[in-house]
Chain A
Amino acid sequence: MKRGELLGSLEQIILLALMRLDGNAHGMIVRREIEKRTGRNISIGAVYATLERLETKGYVSSFTGEPTPERGGRAKRIFRVEAAGKRALQISEQTIRSMTAGLKDGWGTT
């Protein structure tokens, strides 16, 4: 991760969802996990668009699974969090923590 390059909020949420799913899952499972934990009903297209971006950045990798009849004979695309993705999440988390340090007491006053 380049210095100063932070993860977007959806990128962060999707990477965290993948981590929760033992580091690898396909798009619909990621979408379900996000909906379950945050209540956000995001589209499958948004999930794949973000995963594609994360793959280009080298934060996740993917491979094609076997086609199954339940999926109309279409193959799954399984995504896995890479070490660079984990590092990016840590940096994002540290940045948020350092930026919010000392602010929490004042949040309720405005």
Chain B
Amino acid sequence: MKRDSLPAFACSLLEFVLPGPYREAILGDLIEEYTLRSESTSRFAASRWFWSQACRSVPSMVWSSLRSRDCLISISTAMGVYIVMKILEHGAELAISKWVAPQPTTYVLLAPVVFLTSSAIGGCVAARIRRGATKFLALMVMITVAVLIDLKVCTIPVPWWYQFGFLTLGPLAVIITPTLFGRLKQQRALA
């Protein structure tokens, strides 16, 4: 059975959500059982079973992780990184509004760059300290942006997609950048 016939999205979801110690074992068990089921029944039935297992497994594993100390350490790391990230971001925004771009239009253009850069750096730092901390950091970024949008903090009129970009690209930058850097590092090591 080729791995590409597996429900790829369910696999990625589990890979992201499941806590570290048992991630490999659970995914391996599911892949093995999926292979057996798709040979004995149909690929559709096996996929349906895989999805039901994935959806039902996430809450119990996340709850179990929340009860353990491991999760608290990851949350604390994410909080620490988030505070440093916001201080740096605030400093950069102050510098931009004072010296680089005092006009609101230029500020609107530069703010996403600062935000995405700080999110990407934050994600890399969090992943370096603790791998599990990136998902909590991404969640924190998402919640903060959602709250800021809801409170209508931005006084400059901007289109909806501008704010939506902050809401989606910020958490994505936190998650994707360390993965990309990890792959680059692996490729360099192999070369």
Closest to B34 in A: A72
Cβ-defined contact, B25 with A52, below 8 A: no
| A44 contacts chain B at the CB level, 8 A cutoff | yes
Q: Which of B18-73 contact A (CB under 8 A)?
A: 18, 21-22, 24-33, 35, 53, 56-61, 63-64, 68
Size of chain A's interface in residues, with CB distance under 8 A? 23
Distance in angstroms between the alpha carbons of A70 and B33 in the assembled complex: 9
B3 within 8 A of A: yes
Q: Which residues of A contact B24 (CB under 8 A)?
A: 74-75, 77
Tell whether A45 pairs with B60 under 8 Å between CB atoms, given A27-B25, A72-B3, A77-B25. Answer: yes
- By the criterion CB–CB under 8 Å, are B29 and A27 in contact? yes
The CA-CA distance from A56 to B3 in the complex, in Å, is: 33
Docked complex Cα distance between A27 and B53 (Å): 13
B25 near A45 with CB under 8 A, answer no
Docked complex Cα distance between A45 and B59 (Å): 8
Q: Is A38 an interface residue (CB 8 A)?
A: no
User: Which residues of chain B come closer than 8 Å to A68, judged between CB atoms?
Assistant: 28
Which residues from B are CB-within-8-Å of A31? 29
Q: Tell which of B18, B26, B63 touches A27, judged by Cβ atoms closer than 8 Å.
A: B26
List the 9 closest pairs (A to B, CB-CB), nearest first: A45-B57, A74-B28, A77-B25, A71-B28, A43-B56, A49-B64, A28-B29, A45-B60, A72-B31
B residues whose Cβ falls under 8 Å from a Cβ of A: 1, 3, 6, 18, 21-22, 24-33, 35, 53, 56-61, 63-64, 68
A71 to B40, CA, bound (A): 17
Give A85 to B44 CA distance when docked, in angstroms. 39
CA distance A56 to B60 in the complex (A): 16
- Would you list 28 pairs from A and B whose C-beta atoms are within 8 A, ordered by A residue? A27-B25, A28-B29, A31-B29, A43-B56, A43-B57, A43-B60, A44-B57, A45-B18, A45-B53, A45-B56, A45-B60, A48-B22, A49-B61, A49-B63, A49-B64, A52-B64, A53-B64, A64-B25, A70-B35, A71-B28, A71-B29, A72-B27, A74-B24, A74-B25, A74-B31, A77-B22, A77-B24, A77-B25
User: Which residues of chain A (33-65) have a CB below 8 Å from chain B?
Assistant: 43-46, 48-49, 52-53, 56, 64
A70-B32, A70-B35 as given contacts; A45 in contact with B27, CB under 8 Å: no
**Complex contacts, B64 vs chain A, CB 8 Å:** 48-49, 52-53
Chain A residue nearest in CB terms to B31: A72
Cβ distance B122 to chain A, nearest Cβ, rounded Å: 29
Q: Does A80 make an interface contact (CB < 8 A)? A: no
Q: A48 CB to closest chain B CB, in angstroms?
A: 5
Bound state CA distance, A28 and B50, in angstroms?
Answer: 13
For residue A56, which residues in chain B have a CB less than 8 angstroms away from its CB?
Answer: 68
Report A-chain residues with C-beta under 8 Å of the C-beta of B26: 27, 44-45, 48
**Are B21 and A52 interface neighbours, CB within 8 A?**
yes
